[in-house]
Structure 1
């Protein structure tokens, strides 16, 4: 019974988040539904995910209490901004799994280094547009034959996280620009993409070694029309809607696109029986996402609490301006904060509060912020991607974060010359 209630609440999050495109205030009700799903999810989830979700929720509420004691009371909109768009998107993407029932397993694909590289590029390319849903689909495909391995998780999370370095479809770019308007998009996207390519090429060497004796036989994510037609249809939908309605948040566009693609595919594949499959998934199957959705909403509660505390911070830096070295230090600070459990959206706010008095060049600040965000996503135990992969595929999130430490080292090394180049270009 509780699982059905949880599934229905997630369906409400999907419906209200979708409807908020036409009526923005409905996102608040989506937040209410998400919080209710958190309450039910805490009763259903067991083990480490439950402990983490409780810790995140309690910490967020404590931060809110401290802020309130100091007279800082967030608005209703802030209080109800608890990752409902992300939760709704993930729940909607799960409908696409109905289309993969009984799919074929392609044969004769390349293996070894070529397969690792191909998988990284496909996940990175798709993830740069449809965000975390690309990892969900790729992970489900890779986990068909056997449980997802740590090496697979390293590959997926690194390929996905590097998308934040440059993609305008990531919330990282929008968040950074909100603090420093006027950044040169051509520079941030161009240099960010260059950093992503270099980091992935170097980082994949470490991933390839992680496969051990199986690396030469690794076939990865298949590059066939039969497998890619669903994510590619979603990419086309997202690009088309974004170009016509750029103000609509990408997670909501992905949400709508997932439902449209799933509905069309299910009706073509199963006919009228497709409606029954969709209804069953909406009222029961969605509860299979209870671990990751509960963690995401709990992380949203923590973010709300920490954002209340950010204005209380008053730090003076021993520097006169925001140069390359300060920008580079910003990247490192964001990652360190992520390692101790602070979400990138909060760490970015903290960094912005400290450096904005230095009047940073917008382009330099945005490039540092997006690189820091992507790196933090790969190594932060409470980042959305690590929580999703660990909860969805039963892996240890802390171990995965530690195994991604080389990604951090490589990115920090590559980021410095990129920031120097950005400084020269914008000077």
Structure 2
């Protein structure tokens, strides 16, 4: 069942790619079924995504394949060290689950392409917004919508910009900084969910009072720095016009409706995972079941295998995270604590250590989790710890080559994670200084 244009598109798909696309689709369906009473084995999602990665491995660009291979090898090595060096009990069946929920969300978000373009072909771009105004629109659009839609906003805005031409470095930096700075205050970010779990007695109002101004400073630093380094006269930005905002704002409204009304027990990532494909189905069904199934079929056979770069990086980074967290838990067992108390000096040292580990290639979630595992926080110290962790997450994800945002930009738009790190070093230094000042103000 397909549209008249489908056979030519499907004929060019190799059987291996088709099987990989179906495996990715199966992984998404397993993840969505996990939100219902029809849930299958929770490990099936990860197994399906890893199967697709294995099938697509020869087609992954060499740089990405080498990086993913090293991440997976290092993660496996750390698991073996934890098992045979420290006697850790390891659930090997669950070792392929790392980041599978994020991959499922990315796959779900890819169906957005079936909503905004119901004719099945690209719409001609209109007159672009350029210069400082375009940069401001990109940063602000990603920041505001990203507080709710998280990483999916980067793809919505980035894909819209990429319709005109391959993304330039100022555009990539605007996407990166707009999203990463939202981690400072958004209650819907993964960073906030992790921090609330690690510091349940934190005072969110205090975190918001310090995090939101720091996020605005991040935007101001971007508006001052990038025009001095790059010629933005021909650099298209995201338009904040009603037409451009219609799709992301509609999706944000739907996500909020499900989060607060229909499915409050699900996380924001889970809601996005099933809502985007469901919205694509609803948007296409008026053209008939044949049209809808044809578009979904072509999406599964062509678009999903094309996500091989980002899927492989996230899965292999997840295996590394599993290895690091397992080794850290095994090595620190016994009640040892890093600090007797958590005050200004300890908070600043912890912030700098997590950011430094991000620059070295570790995702901030690893640094924050390891830090929490070696602290014994009193209730009065948890707000300071929470803000310290969020600030380290925001700065670390902007500059860290293996952060979620930079892995996504590398996998989707082909930019080197190492180059993103170099281009963001100056920004990270300024934001680190401002974050240290904010930590001092909060602790005082």
Where on the TM-score scale, by shorter chain, does this alignment land: which range? over 0.9
SS at match of 2:42: helix
SS at match of 1:284: helix
Aligned position for 2:97: 81
Aligned position for 1:96: 112
TM-score by length of 2: 0.89
Per the TM alignment, residue 327 of structure 1 is displaced from its structure 2 partner at its CA by 1.3
RMSD over equivalenced CA pairs, Å: 2.1
1:19 aligns with 2:33: yes
Supply the distance in 2 between the matched residues of 1:26 and 1:42 (Cα, whole angstroms): 25
Aligned position for 1:37: 52
Q: 1:197 to 1:127 in 2, by over 3 A?
A: same
1:56 aligns with 2:56: no
Q: 1:246 to 1:344 in 2, by over 3 A?
A: farther
Per the TM alignment, residue 180 of structure 1 is displaced from its structure 2 partner at its CA by 1.6
- Deviations for 1:20-46, whole angstroms, at most 9, x for unmatched residues? 112466432212212222322323313
Supply the distance in 2 between the matched residues of 1:76 and 1:336 (Cα, whole angstroms): 30
Q: 1:268 to 1:192 in 2, by over 3 A?
A: farther
Kindly indicate whether the alpha-carbon contact (under 8 Å) linking 1:172 and 1:370 is maintained by their aligned counterparts in 2: yes
Aligned position for 2:436: 416
Aligned position for 1:28: 43
Aligned position for 1:147: 166
1:254 aligns with 2:272: yes
SS at match of 2:186: coil
Q: 1:110 to 1:285 in 2, by over 3 A?
A: closer
Supply the distance in 2 between the matched residues of 1:293 and 1:220 (Cα, whole angstroms): 27
SS at match of 1:27: coil
Per the TM alignment, residue 387 of structure 1 is displaced from its structure 2 partner at its CA by 1.2
Q: 1:118 to 1:269 in 2, by over 3 A?
A: farther
Kindly indicate whether the alpha-carbon contact (under 8 Å) linking 1:37 and 1:294 is maintained by their aligned counterparts in 2: no
Supply the distance in 2 between the matched residues of 1:175 and 1:77 (Cα, whole angstroms): 24
SS at match of 2:374: helix
Structure 1 residues without counterparts, runs of 5 or longer: none
Kindly indicate whether the alpha-carbon contact (under 8 Å) linking 2:72 and 2:319 is maintained by their aligned counterparts in 1: yes
Supply the distance in 2 between the matched residues of 1:343 and 1:411 (Cα, whole angstroms): 18
Aligned position for 2:8: none
Aligned position for 1:121: 140
Kindly indicate whether the alpha-carbon contact (under 8 Å) linking 2:26 and 2:48 is maintained by their aligned counterparts in 1: yes
Kindly indicate whether the alpha-carbon contact (under 8 Å) linking 2:161 and 2:167 is maintained by their aligned counterparts in 1: yes
Per the TM alignment, residue 313 of structure 1 is displaced from its structure 2 partner at its CA by 4.1
Supply the distance in 2 between the matched residues of 1:189 and 1:78 (Cα, whole angstroms): 36
TM-score by length of 1: 0.92
Supply the distance in 1 between the matched residues of 2:321 and 2:225 (Cα, whole angstroms): 32
Moved more, 387-396 or 47-56: 387-396
